[in-house]
Amino acid sequence: QTKSRPYSVFVGIDLLTQLPILLLRHEVQTKQKLFLVTDSHVYPLYANGILGSLQAAGYDVHIAVIPAGEKSKSLETLDQLYSDAIKAGLDRSSVVLALGGGVVGDLAGFFAASFMRGIPFVQIPTTLLAHDSSIGGKVGINHKLGKNYMGAFHQPLFVLFDVKFLASLPERELVSGFAEVVKHAFIWDKQFVAWLEGNNKALMQRDLPILEEAIYQGCKVKISVVSDDERENGIRAILNYGHTIGHALESVSEYQFYTHGEAISIGMVGAAMLSVDVLDAPSSLIQDTETLLRKFSLPTRIENNWSDEALLQVMKRDKKAKLGNYTFVLSEEVGKTQVVNGISEAKIREVLQKLKRGG
Ligand code: NAD
Ligand code: ZN
C-alpha cells in the first residue's frame, strides 16, 4: 500500500507460469506491446520459456538484452533501451517486464518511469537480493561519479517472484541476497532472526519452500517499511542499515571486489559496533550479528587495507548525510532501529580499525 497506488507482491514456486494470467488480471490487454528487459545471463536461462507462454497468450513481446553486471546501470544502456523501444514502436500503452536481478529492475524501472513520461512496469526478480530491490518503487541508474545518482520513484504494476529462479543463481549471488534478508530480520523482527538461525542450513542448501518463506518474510518487512514512507522522509531510511559503511566499501573498491550483500554484511557489523558505542546497545549485538552473518558465509571483517580517508570521504558524500555530518542507521536491539545524525569522525575511525583488526 503506497500513497501512489497499492500493488501486489506474489511469491511462490513455479509462479512464472501465472504471468500471462496475472497480466490480464492487471488489465494488460494483448493489444498492448510488452517490452521484456533482461540481462545476458538470465536471457539464455529463462527468456524462451517466458516468451513462449506470453506469445501463446497472444501478447506481442519485444526483448532487450543488456550485458549482465552493475556497469549496465548506466546512461549508455538506458539510451540503448530508448532506441530499442522507439524502433519496436512502443507507445504509452506498452508495458515493461523487468526480468533479472536488481540491476535489470533498477534500469528497466527507470526506463519505464521516463519513457513517454512513464509507462507501467512489472518486476520479475530473479536474484534473492532482488526480493528487496523489486519492492518500493526506487528505480535508477549510476553516474560515473557515483551510484544511483539519477532515478525516480516508480511503483511496479505488480511483483512476481518465482522462487525457482534461485536454483540457477551462482552461490556468491545467493549469499549476497542473504545479507538483505538478514538485514530485514534485524531491523524489524526478533522472531524472523530466530527463524533464520534455525533454518540456516536448509536455506543455504536452497530448500525451495524454506527459501519461499524467507523471501515472503523479507518482503513483508520491506512492504511494512515502504508503505509507511514511500518517499523516504522518515522510517524508510532504516532500510539502509549496514549501508553507510557498505556503500563506502563498494565505492572504494570500484564495485569490483564485493557483492552488494558482502559489503553491507560488513557494514551491519560496523553499525552494530557503533550502536554499542553510541546507543548503549548490549555488546552481544555485535556477536549476534556476526554469528548469523557467518552462518550465511558472509564476511564480517574488512580484509583489504582500503584507506580510512577514502572510506570516510564516501560516507560524507552519502546521500543520507545531512550538513556534511555522518549519518548512520543504528540499532538499540533487534527490531529497534533508528537514524542517528552527527556521528563523530573519531568514532567511525575506531570502528573501521576494529573491522580491520578483527577485534
Ligand atoms: P544483478 O542484477 O547484477 O544480479 C547478480 C548476477 O546474477 C548477475 O550476473 C545476473 O546476471 C545473475 N543472475 C540474475 N538472476 C539469475 C538467475 N536466476 N540465475 C543465474 N544468474 C542470475 O545484482 P543484484 O544483486 O540482484 O542487484 C544489485 C543491484 O540492485 C544494485 O545495482 C543495487 O544498487 C540495486 N538495489 C536496488 C534497490 C532498490 O530499492 N531499488 C535495493 C537494493 C539493491
Ligand atoms: Zn541494499
189-203 pLDDT tens trace: 999 999 999 999 999
pLDDT of residue 321: 56
Closest by Cα among 218, 312, 322, 310 to 270: 312
- Looking at CATH, the fold of the domain delimited by 175-357 is given as Dehydroquinate synthase-like, alpha domain (1.20.1090)
Measured from the Cα of 177, ligand 1's closest atom is 25
Catalytically active residues, by annotation: 117, 138, 180, 222, 232, 236, 240, 243, 247, 260
| pTM above threshold 0.90 | yes
CB-based pocket (< 6 A), ligand 1? 39, 41-42, 45, 68-70, 73, 100-104, 106, 126-127, 129-130, 132-133, 136, 138, 148, 165, 168-170, 173, 176, 260
The domains spanning 8-168 and 175-357 adopt the same CATH topology:
no
Residue 99, beta-bridge partner list: 38, 124
pLDDT of residue 337: 94
Closest by Cα among 333, 223, 234 to 289: 333
Domain ranges of the chain: 8-168, 175-357
Question: DSSP label at 238?
Answer: G
pLDDT of residue 323: 57
Report residue 72: phi and psi, to 5°: -75, -10
Query: Which alpha helices (DSSP H) does the chain contain, by range?
Result: 19-25, 42, 48-56, 75-87, 102-114, 130-133, 171-188, 190-198, 200-204, 208-228, 243-252, 260-278, 284-295, 308-317, 345-357
pLDDT of residue 293: 98
Closest by Cα among 249, 299, 245, 236 to 273: 245
CB atoms inside a 10 Å sphere around CB 89? 10
Q: How far apart (Å, rounded) are the C-alpha atoms in residues 334 and 337? A: 7
Instruction: Determine the distance separating the centroid of ligand 1 and the alpha carbon of 104, expressed in angstroms.
Output: 7
Please measure the distance between the N-terminal and C-terminal CA atoms of the chain and give it in whole angstroms.
Answer: 43
In three state form, how does the secondary structure of 40-87 look? CCHHHHHHHHHHHHHHHCCCCEEEEEECCCHHHCCHHHHHHHHHHHHH
- Looking at CATH, the fold of the domain delimited by 8-168 is given as Rossmann fold (3.40.50)
Residue stretches of the annotated binding site: 102-106, 126-127, 138, 147, 180, 243, 260
321 is written with which cell numbers? 548525510
Three-state SS at 98: strand
Helix then strand count (H, E) for the chain reads 15, 10
pLDDT of residue 80: 98
pLDDT of residue 233: 66
Give the ipTM of the model, two decimals please: 0.99
Which regions of the chain are under pLDDT 70?
230-233, 318-324, 359
Closest by Cα among 344, 261, 253, 251 to 299: 261
* β 34-39/61-66 pair status: parallel
- Name which residue sits closest to atom 17 of ligand 1, judged by CA: 169
